Amino acid sequence: MAEFIKTQNSFADGEVAPEFYALDNINGLSKLENMDVLSGGGLSRRGGLESVCKLDGPARLISFSESDTHQYIITLTDMRMQIFHNGNRMQSIIAPWGISDLAKIQYAQRFGTMIFVHPNFPPQVLRKSGDHFTLSEFAFSRNDSDMTLNVPFVRFDDAADIKITVTTNSNGNNYATFTTSADFWNPENVGGHLHLLDKQWYIHEYISPTQIVAYTNGTYSVPSASVSDWRECAFGTRRGWPCSITFHQDRLIFGGTRDWPGGIWMSQVGRHNNFNIGTGLDDEAIFVSLLSQQRQQICAVVSSDNLQILTNVGEWAISSNPLTPSSVDIKQHTSVGSYSLGCLTPQKIENATVFVSASGHDIRELGLDELGENYNANDLCPMSKHLLTNPIDMAYNPATRQLFVVRSDGKMAVLNKNSALGISAWGTYTTEGDVLSVAVSDNTTYIVTHRINGVFLERFTTTATQDCGQYDFSITASGLPLRASGHNATRIKLRKIVTRLIDTKSIDINSHRITLPNEIYTPDSTGFNGDVSINLLGTESDGIKPLWTISGISTHPITVLSVTMHGWYTV
């Protein structure tokens, strides 16, 4: 047997899947739970959770930031929105969305206004005035001349062959009966808008699948023949409402609806309630429809260096600057696709857009190449896909450089990322109960937890030694199987394990509780700095198993800089 001494002084790759255990030069771990990888490559016990308040039920979290000193957390629950500031509940507002609708809500904020969209609901506008918030339905602007709405109109595919016969109606001179050449209407059309005969019409009454009653502002002339040139409002109860939203170059952008999933509607410049395309002047509204061999369902629109459009099958960008009706330069750059089963809001990390791929098993980083011409969608978890099963929520904390991904099993996959220092480390956070949602406000990470005694809004803090003052949590960091001189070690005898620590008050190594020199357990005392070791007296180990594990449930801080193994091996 050959003697070996092997030191691991960086854990920058975090937890990696077993299929990578046989590779050289991996600074990874076979398990990383409730510990963070530091900027220098070491490991530290995560902070604890502090309870903010008990909630009425499951909730989704959203961050509202007006300025550095006015940052808020919004909880969306069943038909209710609550506003929190500095951990205090400020206001409770009635909202239109039920608990089953929350996963598909998207939103965009500009100054003190946030607009929410959902494919089955009219957009909602949250406005802040002073310390008071109000929620109301988004209102399209009207033309002063005839009071018609500045809404977009399109010709849907199922209406392509439909002709409308217009006849007078006894309700008045501005009312008409529209009779279609085939079954087309349903009760959901009532309240919607049509454009035909160069007029905008409001659908007043449903009569049958072939007949409705509509009215227009002013009088009209009955045409002598059926009308084939007509369009419907792009948004409404029948066709669905915008699915995604952002602001870009002072335009409000709506992306996709239920019946037109590949449509992009851009408001007039500076007039965010006006979607009238007019005559194509530079500041007027724009409509673009994604065309490709595959059906494009827009999952998110993101304002970055360009307008990024993330669909279920690929990543597009509109690079025009300024963006005008005559200069829309749109291009599909990559073909990864975005997760479409729920809304996982893309995050901005180190000048890149980070999103969950269509498979739901990896996180991608969308960024321009060195020439600034083409986008790449790089994989952020090539060795850790086993940690990203069934994501349901996501948020990034720039202060701690951590991406939090909530999974459907109630745990969180956490990425510690610092590209400048080569850190891209995935691990897992667990707590008593289940994590339901996550958001970041004022550099603080908030979560919703479902515990045995209810649902709570909580936040991570470095000063908390437990979760909510009563739940201990275990920490685990396990090394990889031994690789020596480019070979897999098949039989190992360990003689000693040495760990280098800073500010550590308690630690277990391979299930051995280590008695630290001058160990002090008072909360305000300084932890131990230096090396500690355990002698294993030639303990034999299977070559595929981790040779060391740091663990414990102590509430004391733990920071590990390196782990050194001494022993013998055969290949």
Q: Determine what percent of the chain is predicted with pLDDT higher than 90.
A: 80
Tokens of 49: 């959770």
Distance in angstroms (rounded) separating the CA atoms of residues 252 and 116: 12
Give pLDDT, residue 420: 92
Instruction: Tell me the pLDDT tens digit for each residue of 259-318.
Output: 999 999 999 999 999 999 988 999 999 999 998 778 899 999 999 999 999 999 999 999
Does 166 have pLDDT greater than 90?
yes
Give alpha helix (H) positions in 147-200. Answer: none
User: 288-296, long-range: CB within 8 Å, 24+ apart, which pairs?
Assistant: 288/263, 288/264, 288/318, 288/328, 288/330, 289/260, 289/262, 289/263, 289/264, 290/262, 290/263, 290/264, 290/316, 290/330, 291/262, 292/332, 295/261, 295/262, 296/261, 296/262
Does 67 have pLDDT greater than 90?
no
Distance in angstroms (rounded) separating the CA atoms of residues 523 and 22: 42
Give pLDDT, residue 545: 84
Q: Is the dihedral of CA 368, 370, 376, 382 positive or negative?
A: negative
CATH level 2 (architecture), domain 153-233? Beta Barrel (2.40)
Instruction: Tell me the pLDDT tens digit for each residue of 186-230.
Output: 999 999 999 999 999 999 999 999 999 999 998 899 999 999 999
CATH level 2 (architecture), domain 56-139+240-344+352-394? 7 Propeller (2.130)
Is this prediction's pTM over 0.75? yes
Does 160 have pLDDT greater than 90?
yes
- Span 549-567, mean pLDDT? 91
Tell me phi and psi for residue 387, to 5 degrees: -90, -5
Give pLDDT, residue 404: 98
Give pLDDT, residue 271: 97
Does 111 have pLDDT greater than 90?
yes
Give pLDDT, residue 506: 86
Smallest CA-to-CA distance from 323 within 286, 289, 353, 372 is with 286
Does 524 have pLDDT greater than 70?
no
Q: What is the mean pLDDT of the chain?
A: 93
Instruction: Tell me the pLDDT tens digit for each residue of 263-277.
Output: 999 999 999 999 999
Give pLDDT, residue 340: 84
| Integer CA distances (angstroms), 161 to 76, 164, 230, 238, 239, in order | 43, 10, 11, 19, 18
Task: Check residues 2 and 59 and name the one with the higher pLDDT.
Answer: 59
Give pLDDT, residue 51: 96
Q: Spell out the domain ranges in the chain.
A: 2-47+475-570, 56-139+240-344+352-394, 153-233
Task: Check residues 119 and 144 and name the one with the higher pLDDT.
Answer: 119
Tell me phi and psi for residue 19, to 5 degrees: -70, -10
Query: Residue 445: which H helix or E strand, with range?
Result: strand 444-451
Does 257 have pLDDT greater than 70?
yes
Give pLDDT, residue 523: 56
Tell me phi and psi for residue 346, to 5 degrees: -55, 145
**Residue 522 binned pLDDT confidence (cut-offs 50, 70, 90):** low
Instruction: Tell me the pLDDT tens digit for each residue of 394-434.
Output: 999 999 999 999 999 999 999 999 999 999 999 999 999 99
Q: Determine what percent of the chain is predicted with pLDDT higher than 70.
A: 98
Q: Is 84 helix (H, G, I), strand (E, B) or coil?
A: strand
Tokens of 47: 């902070």
Tokens of 435: 């994590």
Give pLDDT, residue 521: 54
Give pLDDT, residue 144: 83
Smallest CA-to-CA distance from 215 within 161, 151, 166 is with 166
Class at the top of the CATH hierarchy for domain 2-47+475-570: mainly beta
Give pLDDT, residue 66: 85
User: Which of 115-119, 334-338, 360-364 has the least mean pLDDT?
Assistant: 360-364
Give pLDDT, residue 519: 55
Does 514 have pLDDT greater than 90?
no
Does 543 have pLDDT greater than 80?
no
